[in-house]
Amino acid sequence: MSVITSPGAPTPAVAAARERSAELEHLVARNPAGYRVLTGDRPTGALHLGHLLGTVANRVRLQNLGVEVFLIVADYQVITDRDDAGDLPATVREVLLDYLAAGVDPARSTVFTHSAVPALNQLLLPFLSLVSVAELERNPTVKAEAEASAAQGRRGTSGLLLTYPVHQAADILFCHGNLVPVGADQLPHLEITRTVARRFNQRYAAARPYFAEPDALVTPSLTVLGDDGVKMSKSRGNALELRASEDQTAAYFKRARTDADRTITYEPERRPEIANLLRIGAHFSGTSPEALADEVGPAGAGRLKALVTEAVVEGLRPLRARRRELASAGPRYVADVLARGNARANEIADRTLDDVRGLMGMRY
């Protein structure tokens, strides 16, 4: 897999987190059983190429290393910024099919839905008392979401959106997750989780800290752009879904935006759309974007798109075949995977909530 990070100098906090992450990778490789990962997605649509290259492949990698992975399908988070959640059961099923097809193994990883774990959600009440409104308002992701919602004429920030970092703390801490794979832009979120863990321990478990402060694992990953040249995202309608057919894949890359220069060169700053195609193509054909650019050169964007299509179609062939197989196995298989995941998540959450209430002097 090619490893590409975004261009530009990282901030000191990001540089420190990257350094710590490199160290963590060594620790995880030596003792995978000592780590529990919590990560997940909002069920706002089927997963796309950006998800696979940005996070899903990394989760499967961690799982296969022997790390215990918890995958939360964050259904309550869908309504942080929208009134209509759509057909959630259908969307959740699509997301699960994507996970399983990408290599998530339900025998080793726990997949669960947020709303199905009441004790996890109850942790929010004590946790909310541990952070101030000002701390939440300072969170850059909350700020960005609030600005985006205002710019798009949507309703103002909901209380749910404001408290999003605390929900994340509950999601991570209920299962004592100690490793959270994040993009560099999500580091502040994890800071609030660490703060909640620290303050809970100070207030209620000073003698013997109860929650460990989780570590961020900043993994170098690809940010994939959509066919319009903007970050690929479900809600922009610019995404290549993993479940797309080969014809849809070819049509997708055919319409992808490029630029007016004929000769293909890898210049991420000056030619972001071409660079994106080169990174995707290189990723799936096991080469580097530079080498792929040299190979295409004067043949131009048409040739590049043909090569990228071929590489993606070949690269996704096993995933898509497995997805079709799982989808045609009938609704029971996916439903059972989720039921087992929810049962396990509930067992752990009940235990954690019971401990928390005990520590808080609320066991009656």
Distance CA 139, CA 165 (A): 8
| d(C-alpha 346, C-alpha 251), whole Å | 43
Residue 235 binding partner per list Mg ion, ligand ATP, none, with a CB distance cut-off of 5 to 8 Å that depends on partner kind? ligand ATP
**Minimum separation from the CB atom of position 233 to Mg ion (A):** 5
Distance in Å, CB of 142 to ligand ATP, minimum: 14
* Euclidean distance between CA atoms 116 and 348, whole angstroms: 13
Q: Please tell me whether residue 6 binds ligand ATP under the rule CB under 6 A.
A: no
Nearest approach, Cβ of residue 121 and ligand ATP (Å): 20
Among 224, 278, 296, 319, binds ligand ATP (CB under 6 A): 224
- Token output for 248: 């849809």
Judged by CB under 6 A, the number of residues near ligand ATP is: 17
Q: Which of 11, 235, 245, 263 binds ligand ATP (CB under 6 A)?
A: 235
Q: Which is nearer to Mg ion, 68 or 241 (CB)?
A: 241
- Contacting ligand ATP within 79-98 (CB under 6 A): none
Residue 42 binding result from Mg ion, ligand ATP, none, given CB thresholds of 5 to 8 Å by partner type: ligand ATP
Backbone phi and psi for residue 15, each to the nearest 5 degrees, phi listed first:
-60, -40
Pinpoint the alpha helices (H) of the chain: 12-30, 49-51, 57-65, 75-78, 88-102, 118-122, 124-128, 133-138, 140-151, 159-162, 164-173, 187-204, 246-255, 272-285, 289-296, 300-328, 331-359
Show the tokens assigned to 163.
């408290």
Cβ 51 to Mg ion, closest distance in Å?
A: 10
Candidate list 51, 93, 194, 320; residue touching ligand ATP; CB under 6 A: 51
Q: Name which position in 2, 41, 97, 305 contacts ligand ATP (CB under 6 A).
A: 41
Q: Which stretch binds ligand ATP (CB under 6 A): 40-48, 83-91, 110-118, 300-308?
A: 40-48
Read off φ and ψ for residue 334, nearest 5 degrees. Answer: -65, -40
Nearer residue to ligand ATP within complex by CB, 42 or 320: 42
Give the Cβ contact number of residue 150 at 10 Å: 12
Residues 122-161 that bind ligand ATP (CB under 6 A): none
How many residues are given for the chain?
364
Using CB under 6 A, which of 176, 231, 303, 351 touches ligand ATP?
231
Q: Pick the closer one to ligand ATP by CB: 157 or 352.
A: 157
Tokens encoding 117: 């774990």
Among 232, 334, 353, 356, binds ligand ATP (CB under 6 A): 232
* Residue 279 buriedness (CB in 10 A; 0-12 / 13-18 / 19+): buried
Residue type, 177: G
Binding of ligand ATP by 42 (CB under 6 A): yes
| Sole window of 28-36, 39-47, 97-105, 303-311 interacting with ligand ATP (rule: CB under 6 A) | 39-47
Contacts of 281 (CB under 8 A, 6+ apart): 289, 292, 304, 307, 308, 311, 312
Least distance in Å: CB of 361 to ligand ATP? 37
For residue 241, the 8-state DSSP code is B
Does residue 188 contact residue 141 with C-beta atoms inside 8 Å?
Answer: yes
Residues that bind ligand ATP (CB under 6 A): 41-42, 44, 50-51, 53-55, 183, 222-224, 231-235
Residues that bind Mg ion (CB under 5 A): 233
